[in-house]
Amino acid sequence: MTFQQIHHQSDRKIDSEIVEYIQKEKVAWIARESGGDILVNCWFKETPTGTPVIHSVSSPTFDDPGRRASSYENNEKELANMKKMMGES
């Protein structure tokens, strides 16, 4: 499946493609950026005490420490938003 992400700071559209999906366990996608493809993995599995999420990102931009730090901060916000949405469903 392909989709477009909207970059929250610039409203820039990012073409993306889900490359792996395991219902109730994992979703992985590639975001096609001008600086190189970004691979994103999210693993999650419901337990009696909640649903832990493991989030992994691989990007050529991480070679730059400033961009890496900014990406981690943005990912924290994205995960908080995902948690909120999952609680609302």
Share of the chain above pLDDT 70, in %: 97
* Assigned token pair, 11: 């409203």
Is the pTM higher than 0.75? The answer reads no
State the pLDDT at residue 71. 75
Whether the CB-CB separation of 20 and 39 falls below 8 Å is answered with no
Whether the CB-CB separation of 48 and 60 falls below 8 Å is answered with no
- Residue owning tokens 């109730």: 24
State the pLDDT at residue 88. 60
State the pLDDT at residue 29. 94
Q: Which residue has the higher pLDDT, 71 or 3?
A: 3
Q: What is the pLDDT of residues 22-45, one digit of tens each?
A: 998 999 999 998 878 989 999 988
CA quadruple 33, 7, 74, 51: dihedral sign = negative
Q: What's the CA dihedral at 17, 54, 79, 75 to 10 degrees? A: -70
Flag whether pLDDT at 89 surpasses 80.
Answer: no
* Statement: 2-88 belongs to CATH 3.30.530.20: yes
